[in-house]
Every structure is written in C-alpha cells, then in structure tokens.
Amino acid sequence: MLPEKCDSLQACDDKLTGRRLRIPHVYTMAYSNRSFEALTYNATTRRFWTTTENTLKCDGYKPTITNKEVNVVRLQSFGDDLEPLEQYWYMSDSTSTQDYYRRTRPFAYFNEPSLVSAIDSVKRKTYSYPSGHAVRGWMYALTLALVVPDATEELMKRAEEYAMSRIICGRHYKSDIEASLVEATAIMSRLLSNEVFMKQLSKAREEYQSKFCRQESSK
C-alpha cells in the first residue's frame, strides 16, 4: 500500500530534500508491488508526473497471464508545491502479445537477480517480448509529440532512455525494446484514423495552447 505522503524527494545529488508529495488517497488501493512508476518533471509546465504500473483495486482486477483483464492505468501530476493536480486514466491492451511469444525474461533465463529483486519471483512468471513498459513509454512520447510537435526530439529521446532502462534492470533484451517501438508505432497509426482519439487529441492541443503558450507569451 502507498502512504498518503511519499518518502522525501531526492535532488540531483541524491540528497533528500525534505519535501514530500501529497499522494491522493485513491492510490492506497494499489495491488502489492504495483504502485507508481518513476517520477519525472516538466520544466515548461512546472509539473511532476507519474503513472501507476497496474490497475488499482478500485478500478478493477489486476491483469494476469490467465485472466486477460484489461490494464487500467492512472496518470497523476503534481505542482511545484507537490500538491496533486491533474489525474487521467486510460485502458491499455492485455498481455496477449507476450503470451503469444512467451519469451523468458533475461534475468530468469540466466538465473540471476534483477535490479528489483524484491519482485523477481512475480516477474519470472511473466514474459519478455515485447516490453509493455517500453510500449507505454513510446506511446506517451508519440502522443505528446502530436500535441507539442516542437518537443518531438526531446520526447522521443526520453522514451528511448526509459525503454533502455528496462534492459539495464534485467527485465528485457534489446530486441524486446525494438519490438515495442514497432508495436507503439502500429498502434499510433491505427489511432490516427480513430475519430474519438482525434477529437481528444484536438482538445489536448487546444488545452496546451490556451494554458502553456499563454504563460510563455506573458513572460
């Protein structure tokens, strides 16, 4: 379970700042070892962003290899004062691609601990190809690049770094990451012909222009 305040944030020099995020109560309903992903900061919008790794108990059942439940992921932002701001949720695909290929994760294949050894016993039962985390990272970048085209290079670089971290921690092979980009690109090509997605994309562009471009012009 997650506390309503997380541990003190760390500065770039790895020293604790003494400041804490105010975590909305809904996130205390995370399944064991399925809480937040890494925290990132957008200096332009002055927002911290994080995302859940898996479905919260209040949103449905946790997806597994056998039950084929759809993963419901929440995105959460925090302001510079570390108070919660926007919250979004979306439904992602099941693990059907990984189930089809059933590729053993590298740390399990070589019988070595990963960098997150506390959940190795859980991850040994899941598959490697392609990387679901990397697919999400590429999808975030591709989607945001449609909203803020000028930031495309920076967004894609960040998504690549995120994807490569999956190799570093022992969860995936390089080919898993390469396949995830192919999958994300294929998904995006379908979304661009989806009327509902395009309407939401238009709203996101308008919101960005009205909120953040106005802030920049007033400086």
Percent of the chain's residues with pLDDT above 90: 30
The confidence score (pLDDT) of residue 96 equals 66
Q: Which of 105, 133, 136, 171 is catalytic?
A: 133
Active site residue 172: yes
Q: Which of 176, 190, 205, 214 is catalytic?
A: 176
What residue type is assigned to position 23 of the chain?
I
- The more confident residue out of 211 and 170 is 170
The confidence score (pLDDT) of residue 207 equals 86
pTM exceeds 0.85, yes or no: no
Active site residue 166: yes
Q: How far apart are CA 82 and CA 102, in angstroms?
A: 41
Q: Which of 74, 105, 171, 172 is catalytic?
A: 172
- Mean predicted lDDT score pLDDT of the chain: 81
Q: In the chain, count H helices and then E strands.
A: 8, 4
Nearest to 39 by CA among 31, 27, 29: 27
pLDDT at 90 exceeding the cut of 90: no
- Confidence class for position 89, pLDDT limits 50, 70, 90: confident
- The more confident residue out of 63 and 49 is 49
The confidence score (pLDDT) of residue 151 equals 92
The confidence score (pLDDT) of residue 19 equals 77
Task: Check if the beta carbon of residue 166 is closer than 8 Å to that of residue 176.
Answer: yes
Active site residue 120: no
Q: Which of 105, 136, 166, 171 is catalytic?
A: 166
The confidence score (pLDDT) of residue 163 equals 93
Sequence-distant (6+) residues with CB within 8 A of 40 are 48, 49, 50, 158
The confidence score (pLDDT) of residue 58 equals 84
